[in-house]
Structure 1
Amino acid sequence: MATTHLVGIDGSETALNALTWAAHDAVLHEATLHLISVATQPDLARNTRWLQQAQQIATDAGANTETRITRGKPATELIEASTGAERITVGNRGLADNTGTHLPLGSTAETVAMRAHCPAAVIPSTSRPDPTAPVIVGVDGSALSDPALRTAFDEASARGVGLIAVHVYSDTAVDEVWGQIEDWYELRQREEEVLAERLAGWHEQYPDVSVQRVVERDRPVRYLANHAATAQLIVVGSRGRGGMTGMLLGSTSRALLHIAPCPVLVVRLQHESPAGQ
């Protein structure tokens, strides 16, 4: 059965960049791409033009498309539309976010990433990912990262590229988990075992994906962001082991949305209530 991917269209260059990524992604996953434009004023002619232009771009890329115009607040309508979808894609800034603040991430993109009912891809306005570059996935060492791992393996397999599984442990994590440990070599060995345990079994399911394991002592956001320039996609969970119950998006995921130069795909935990309900 065909799956459904969504992409928000608002006429901005950022949205068209996100559309190009989403169309390619839909083709890779044999999904139908739903183009959604949210009208914030009575005149729908503008939104119709946007969708016509976007549909032509997506069709030229080989995607099967459907279009829809809704009324309301962009973030609210996109979140509602994400129910039952496999993925939603948005640009990191839309027309409504061009307020002169020069912030790297708009309010609509952040809200959708936080509250969507499905995995959410946020595409930077200047992103031109190398299709031969690897996929990077952040692994925090807990079962919370398993949904992101599954998605990352699926993405690497669909794209025919390698996967870099990154487990970054910080001083804070060391204090919380290990207490007073003086043998840093022993600690690193243990962290390598943690990553190996989380990766166990995935190779059998995705034998075509070559995996590079990276274990580093650093801040997760800093390490992942520094290596994002050499990746075509970063996959992260919505919350890590440091996340507090009730948080919609963890600090690492949120920070990456602001600073990563490549697309970031946020994969929500299956038991989370994305709309805070």
Structure 2
Amino acid sequence: MRRRRSIVVGVDGTESARDALDWAAAEAAVRRLPLRVVHAYAAVPSWAVLGELPQPYENVGVPDVARSVTEEAVRRARQVASELEISTRLLIGAGAPALLAQSGDAELLVLGSRGPGGVRGLFGGSVSFRVARHAACPVVVVRPMQPTTPGRSAARVVVGVDGSHRSECAVEFAVRAAAQRGVGVTAVHAWSPRGTADLAAVTDDWSLAEAAEWRTLQRFFAPWRSRLAAAQIELRLVQGRAQDVLVAESAGAALLVVGTRGRGSVRAAIAGSVSQAVLHHAGCPVAVVRR
């Protein structure tokens, strides 16, 4: 009998991680999957080398504090879904490698993002991007809630489409997520004029290029329409850089889904820059789906 895969969530006691935990617990409950809570800690923390003892560690050892992080996470997850099947993993090591090691048999890996600002913000962003780019399963980064004016795709699932195989995986994930939530999908294709239309500003060529991009988007998404049941699909062709277009569309959305090839070619690095930008600036949780 095939063992059920789990929703894996990384926790570290921060508010960002608690948001990720709430999201992961709700997702596990809806999918009827177990939740695996993972916390990584350093065997020799920096304060031990410096000879400084922070307040939380005065009367207990590092493993005790680390264990309390997972115990608090389990209690919080139970508040979201009381019947949830929950397991914990307490690991020694850095956060990104620990989470990546757990991604091999995971259905989905969820972690928080501390957002921009300061050394911790940059560190948090680097961990989320590294995990999203190299995990063996889809990764959802739950960004801090920010006051924002909802965009035209508010409460919908937004997916970036570029016509490549990378997009196929992202669209499949987005269609499933939208059907699960009973909402619509907004498929966004960003494009920029090129060639003679760009250099000579020939209106007819510009229109032809736009029409060709629109046909590509429609043709690419056609097979997915029948799989979304009652949820509505909206196709959007927007001129501009992909990361700017997707960030703007994400304001108030239920989820933003992007694809990535992972490491490799120059084109993969460009695709990676798009996913990195949305991980830092999107106005909703971001799912990164590798081929």
TM range (shorter): 0.7 to 0.9
Offset of residue 263 of structure 1: 0.8
> What CA distance in whole angstroms lies between the structure 2 residues aligned with 1:177 and 1:34?
52
If the length of structure 1 is used for normalisation, what is the TM-score?
Answer: 0.85
Q: In the alignment, which of 217, 229, 238 is matched to residue 207 of structure 1?
A: 229
Q: TM-score, normalised by structure 2?
A: 0.81
Following TM superposition, by how much is the alpha carbon of 1:164 offset from its aligned partner in structure 2, in angstroms?
0.3
Q: Distance in 2 between matches of 1:218 and 1:30?
A: 39
* One-letter identity of the residue aligned with 2:221: L
1:237 maps to which of 235, 239, 259: 259
Structure-to-structure mapping, 1:98-177, within 5 angstroms? 100=119, 102-103=121-122, 105-126=124-145, 133-171=155-193, 174-175=194-195
Is residue 2:73 matched to residue 1:54?
yes
Say if 1:93 and 1:108, in contact at 8 Å, map to a contact too: no
1:103 deviates by 3.9
- Please report how far the alpha carbon of residue 29 of structure 1 lies from its aligned counterpart in structure 2 after TM superposition: 1.7
- Which structure: greater helix fraction? 2
The alpha carbon displacement at 1:28 in A equals 2.0
Call closer, same or farther: CA 1:71–1:113 in 2, change over 3 Å: same
Please, which runs of 5 or more residues in structure 1 have no aligned partner? Answer: 270-277
Evaluate the alpha carbon distance shift between residue 268 and residue 175 of structure 1 in structure 2; reply closer, same or farther with a 3 A threshold. farther
Instruction: Give the counterpart of 2:32 among 24, 30, 37.
Output: 30
**Equivalent residue for 1:40?**
42
Mapped to 2, the partners of 1:244 and 1:199 lie a distance apart of: 26
* RMSD, matched Cα: 2.9
In the TM superposition, what is the alpha-carbon distance from 1:260 to its structure 2 partner?
0.9
Partner of 2:274: 252
Q: Any stretches of 5+ residues in structure 2 without a counterpart? A: 45-61
- The worse-fitting range, judged by mean Cα deviation, of 67-76 and 100-109 is 100-109
State the AA in 1 paired with 2:138: P
Structure with larger Rg: 2
- Measured at CA, do residues 187 and 98 of structure 1 come closer, stay the same or move farther in structure 2, by a change above 3 Å? closer
Cα drift, residue 2 of structure 1: 3.1
Query: Counterpart amino acid of 1:213?
Result: L
Shift of 1:230: 2.6
CA distance in 1, matches of 2:92, 2:197: 49
Q: Distance in 1 between matches of 2:267 and 2:190?
A: 22
Identify the match of residue 71 of structure 1 among 69, 92, 105: 92
Task: State the alpha-carbon separation in 2 of the partners of residues 213 and 98 from structure 1.
Answer: 34
Q: How big is each residue's C-alpha offset from its partner over 1:143-193, in whole Å with a ceiling of 9 and x where there is no partner?
A: 32100000000000111111000011024xx34999988322222211111
**Count of aligned pairs:** 262
Match of 1:188 among 210, 220, 242: 210
